[in-house]
Amino acid sequence: MRLLLDENISWRLAAYLRPHCAEVLHVRDIGLAESPDTGIWRYARQHGYDVLTKDEDFVRLVVAEGFPPRVVAVQNAQVPVKQLATFLLARLPQ
């Protein structure tokens, strides 16, 4: 799995996920910080990433545009990064 972390996801999460994913980038790593969701969506689609976000706009993009990219939307994720990583890693195969 190749993950692109949206701007509303802490960049620190990447360090926890990298050992378990083929590649993990944060939007700030590729110059897309503060970019519109559609720009992030297009980048993910063109480069084969799935998007990890807290933003419901990406869910609407899935409905409107289809796959790829896949979107992992976490809600109520105001938890420490390590706790979010544990939660995600337990579900990564899904």
- pLDDT by residue (tens digit) across 34-57? 999 999 999 999 999 999 999 888
pLDDT over 80 (residue 76): no
Contact in structure between 16 and 37 (CB atoms under 8 Å):
no
Q: The pTM is what? A: 0.90
Report pLDDT digits (tens) over 28-37.
Answer: 999 999 999 9
Residues in a beta bridge with 2: 23
Residue 94 confidence (pLDDT):
67
Report pLDDT digits (tens) over 5-18.
Answer: 999 999 999 999 99
Sorted by where each begins, the domain ranges of the chain are 2-91
Angstrom distance (rounded) from CA 33 to CA 88: 22
Residue 77 confidence (pLDDT):
64
Residue 9 confidence (pLDDT):
93
